[in-house]
Structure 1
């Protein structure tokens, strides 16, 4: 399991070492397929549902419903507000993740129940 959007504001418990700030992941130009990548992020398997809204940590007045929720595609894990940061702020994602998204035709694979439970058990201590 790998975590997308690793930064101090979104994943503070992921490591004891200091993490970069969210602003360091902001891109200047969106990739040509940004909308399709956002669709992939929104279509992942939800392994933790959080009710409520979270504020845009980069300063807009926008809020994201369920931003603290956790999603996966079986290999990667991300927060429910990651799609927002990619869409609004062109947050840069790892090339390895983007390669797998493009190779899948922008459709997350089905993840079995046992795998979802195992991923959740791995992620839970980080929250």
Structure 2
């Protein structure tokens, strides 16, 4: 399991050493396939679903419904609000993840119930 969007503002300390602050990954311009990558992020398999909304930690007044939900593609896990930050702030994401999304033609692959359960248990240890 790999954490996508492993920023200090989003994940607890027991998850490990974050990549840094979200602010360090803001880009001025969107990538050519940003819309497709955002759709991939929105299509992840839900592992943890929380009622409520979260605020934009970068300062806008926007609220993201279910933003702290946790989703996966079977290899990576991320918070549901990552798509918001990608489309609003053009966050740079790891090339390894982008390569996977592109190879899958921006379609989250099917993940078996046993694999989802295993990932769920791993995430549960760090939340």
- Normalised by the shorter chain, which TM-score bucket? over 0.9
Q: Give the TM-score of the pair, scaled to structure 2.
A: 0.95
2:6 alignment counterpart: 6
1:101, CA displacement in angstroms?
Answer: 0.4
Task: Write the mapping of 1:82-93 to structure 2, written as runs, cut at 5 A.
Answer: 82-93=82-93
2:125 paired with 1:121: no
Deviations 1:15-73 (A, max 9, x none): 1x465211011112110110000000000100111110000000000010001100000
SS in 2 for 1:97: helix
Equivalent residue, structure 1, for 2:110 = 110
Shift in CA distance, 68/102, structure 1 to aligned 2, threshold 3 Å: same
Q: 1: CA distance between counterparts of 2:62 and 2:23?
A: 16
Give me the CA root mean square deviation. Answer: 1.1
Aligned ranges 1:57-76 → 2 under 5 Å = 57-76=57-76
Paired residue secondary structure (2:5)? coil
CA 1:84/1:110 → structure 2, altered by over 3 Å: closer, same or farther? Answer: same
Task: State the partner residue of 2:24.
Answer: 24
TM-score normalised by structure 1 residue count: 0.95
Cα deviation for residue 125 of structure 1 reads 1.8
Aligned counterpart, 2:56? 56
